[in-house]
Structure 1
Amino acid sequence: MRNRCLLRTGHLSPRQLPGSPGVARVALVQAGALLLAGDEVRIEVAVSGPVRLEIVETAGTVAYGMRGGSARWDVDIDLTDGASLHWYAEPFVVSAGADVTRTTTTRLTTGCTANLRESIVLGRQNETGGRLHTSTRAWLDDEPLLAEDLDYRNSWAILGTARCLDTVTTLGFRLPDDPQTLQLEGPGSIARQLVHQQHEAEVTRRLTTATSSPDPSPR
């Protein structure tokens, strides 16, 4: 049985890539300059049935200086009937003068899993980052699984002397226990690492480990 994909273009242009049976791979290609003042990017992902969707970002995103303006980046994910999602996101860079609100909302039913990587970089090289507010919400079978808000306007309170925050979030299953990993009350985990340069982050190896052997039990 072949996977069926319905792709729609907006600020981003999705392109289907070759994939093995049971796996759908989709690349996100920027359709224009992003992220500028006034931009409202919305990404909707819906996966149904026993298929694994892998989203590939072809490049990182830079939120440029907005001269008093602002922008939004909203992601809405819906997984049902045994679906799984693997999204290995490229760095999201918040330049000086940028003001961005970024939200991620995930709904999944029992038997579904999501494996999400987010890499926030405040400022380009030798630059102080702008303003960023992130909001993450997740539900499993209509029960709250995760609710988190981070405000990077006072970035020192979150990052200290670091410039980058690399995060892997799993929903529907847990990562192995580790000092850098927070286990949610339900089946899910958040692993984080603070680094000065994004390429120094090692938390992505957890993504590979988790993908190869997800454990749906809440422990």
Structure 2
Amino acid sequence: MNEPVVVGVERDASGRHVARELRPGAFLAPRPLLPEPDRTRIALVGTRAGLLAGDDLGLRISVGPGARLELVEPAGLVAYDHRGGRSRWRARVEVAEGGELLWCGQPFVVSDGADVLREMDVALAAGARMLWRDTLVLGRSGERGGSVRVVTRVTYDDEELLVEDLDLTDTAVRALPGLLGPNRVVGSVTALGARPAGPAHPCRAELAGPGAQIRLLDTAAPAVEAELTAVWEAWSRP
């Protein structure tokens, strides 16, 4: 198993946001950015080429009580042809009471021949919040895209808030009407721990607890990315 990226932030006795742990992993390195008065900003900078067969990219993110962390991805990630193998991307997130995580992810591209398992496991304490942007692109230009399964589990105050198993491993099945059809881009912005205000959106879904999600499908990324940016900017306002 490859070493995971570790990011831990907290607020000290004076109320300042501090990064108590920044540890690079096999694929990404956390790099501090210019701080904001109300948050710590950390960039996840790639140190190796995208995912190949046998790769296991792990992330461990923790936000202390009352702290606010913004994760920035300067570039997307590509899973290349695995030639019969498989790779894994997995993240474990813990946000303490009153803490907040803003994670604006860049596109994750699944090339022809790739076979990827993506797992997101989030534990939010009561009063914690997370805003997460995620875009999945099936194939590079001219490709149909490989296999991917996306498993997401979020708990809030030890109660399940969002549990999803998005199985896109069978390229023929996912192209059926009523599933993805001709679309190969799946993008979403998900608010966890609070229901964001704002005008109604035709693709907005309210979660069982405090939270909401807007998910978009399209045949190309630019239109999805533009609309997700507008949603992100509206939902990330204090």
Moved over 6 A (4+): none
Deviates more, 1:145-154 or 1:62-71: 145-154
| TM-score w.r.t. length of structure 1 | 0.94
Alignment partner of 2:23: what SS? Answer: coil
Could you tell me how far apart the structure 2 residues matched to 1:96 and 1:155 are?
15
Determine the structure 2 residue equivalent to 1:156. 175
The aligned residue for residue 23 of structure 2 is: 8
Question: How far off its partner does 1:174 sit?
Answer: 1.6
The alpha carbon displacement at 1:81 in A equals 2.4
Q: Residue 5 of structure 2 corresponds to which residue in structure 1?
A: none
1:125 counterpart residue number: 141
- TM-score, structure 2 as length reference: 0.86
Whether 2:206 is the aligned partner of 1:183: answer yes
Kept in 2, the 8 Å contact 1:180–1:193? The answer is yes
Tell me how far apart the structure 2 counterparts of residues 14 and 190 of structure 1 sit (CA, whole Å): 27
Q: Is the 8 A contact 2:154 2:162 kept in 1?
A: yes
Aligned-CA RMSD value: 1.2
Matched, 1:194 2:210: no
CA distance in 1, matches of 2:74, 2:146: 24
CA distance in 2, matches of 1:168, 1:156: 23
Cα separation, 2, equivalents of 1:117 and 1:106? 14
Say whether 1:210 aligns with 2:235: yes
Q: Report the counterpart of residue 121 of structure 2 in structure 1.
A: 105
Give yes or no for contact 1:102–1:133 (8 Å, CA) kept in 2: yes
Distance 1:104 1:152 in 2: 16
Q: Which stretch has the larger CA shift, 13-22 or 111-120?
A: 13-22
- Out of 158, 172, 186, the residue aligned to residue 165 of structure 1 is 186
Tell me how far apart the structure 1 counterparts of residues 236 and 38 of structure 2 sit (CA, whole Å).
15
Q: Hey, what's the Cα distance between the residues in 1 that align with 2:121 and 2:204?
A: 21
Distance, in Å, in 2 between the alignment partners of 1:30 and 1:159 is 30
2 CA distance for matches of 1:69 and 1:155?
21
Q: CA deviation at 1:74?
A: 0.2
Unpaired runs of 5+ residues, structure 1, are 214-219
How far residue 196 of structure 1 moved from its aligned partner, in angstroms, is: 1.6
Range with bigger deviation, 160-169 or 204-213: 204-213
Distance 1:123 1:147 in 2: 26
Q: Does 1:30 align with 2:46?
A: yes
Once the two structures are TM-superposed, the CA of residue 22 in structure 1 deviates from its matched residue by 2.6
**One-letter identity of the residue aligned with 1:163:** R
What is the CA deviation profile of residues 150-171 of structure 1, one whole-angstrom value per residue up to 9, with x for unaligned ones? 0112332432111101111110
Match of 1:96 in 2: 112
1:105-126 deviation line (CA, Å, top 9, x unaligned): 1111121110001100000000
Whole-angstrom distance in 1 between the partners of 2:105 and 2:133: 5
Kindly indicate whether residue 154 of structure 2 is the aligned counterpart of residue 138 of structure 1: yes
C-alpha contact (below 8 Å) 2:17/2:68 kept by paired residues: no
Q: Is the 8 A contact 1:22 1:50 kept in 2?
A: no
2:71 counterpart (46, 55, 64): 55
